[in-house]
Homo-oligomer: A and B are copies of this chain.
Amino acid sequence: MSLLVGNGLTHWFGRELALEGVDLVIDTGEHMAVLGDNGAGKTTLLRILATVLRPTSGQLEIAGLNAFRERRRLRHHVGYVAHATGLYPALTAAENLEFFCDLQDVSRTRVEEALDAVGLTRVARRRAGELSRGMQQRLSIARAILHEPRLLILDEPDASLGDDAAELLTQVMKDKTVVLATHDHALANRLCPRTLVLRHGRSHGTATRLRVVR
């Protein structure tokens, strides 16, 4: 069964065409990597899939819901790791997660589990603003999985992550449907059976096969 169906996703930034008619279908439990050069449109696509950005045109359905009209209902099911971490620097790592537990309406016991999953248990009581770049990235991943979303959108989650990036991500992605953008081909191959290659905003590679599948 397909969890996510995107259709002709196109986005213009002013006169700049960032994404041009991308179609994609992602099945439940599938892991898909998005590859492409700098400026190919990966972030733009992922922001659309995470319902943070509305495309200029195109349709998107997630879990059978219209992703633009029923955004609020979808948000229980979507986790998103963006380029910017979006943490509160004055709060400790644990307090950051506790706050998002409240907003997500999940039990605070999830905090410890999430911290453990990303290997930050040791610095749980340190302020987020004082963590190193890689630690902040981990915390941002922890926040995205707090509510155990069915769909996980990861935009370069490996950025600044240490040697254990692959194991950490494998663990995090287990049992979830994942769209992952990265520049690390080895990592993409290891984590994702399927790959979408973007070039100048158009989909290539598996994506061409996708058109037929749809």
Q: Footprint of B on A, CB under 8 Å?
A: 13, 16, 36-40, 43, 83, 123, 126, 130-135, 137-138, 156, 159-163, 165, 183-185
Contacts and interface: CB of A to CB of B under 8 A. Distances in A.
B183 A132 contact: no
Number of this chain's copies in the complex: 2
Given A159-B160, A162-B183, A130 B16 contact: yes
Nearest to A183: B162
Contact of A159 (B123, B126, B159): B159
Given A16-B130, A38-B161, 20 more contacts: A13-B130, A16-B126, A37-B134, A37-B162, A37-B163, A38-B134, A38-B137, A38-B138, A38-B160, A38-B162, A39-B131, A39-B132, A39-B135, A83-B133, A133-B156, A134-B183, A159-B159, A159-B160, A160-B183, A165-B183
Contacts of A43: 132-133
Q: Which of A39, A156, A161, A162 has the most CB of B within 10 A?
A: A39
Interface centre among A123, A133, A137 (most CB of B within 10 A): A133
A184 B185 CA distance: 12
A44 to B, nearest CB: 8
Contacts of A135: 38-39
B156 A183 contact: no
A36 B135 CA distance: 13
Contacts of A156: 133, 160
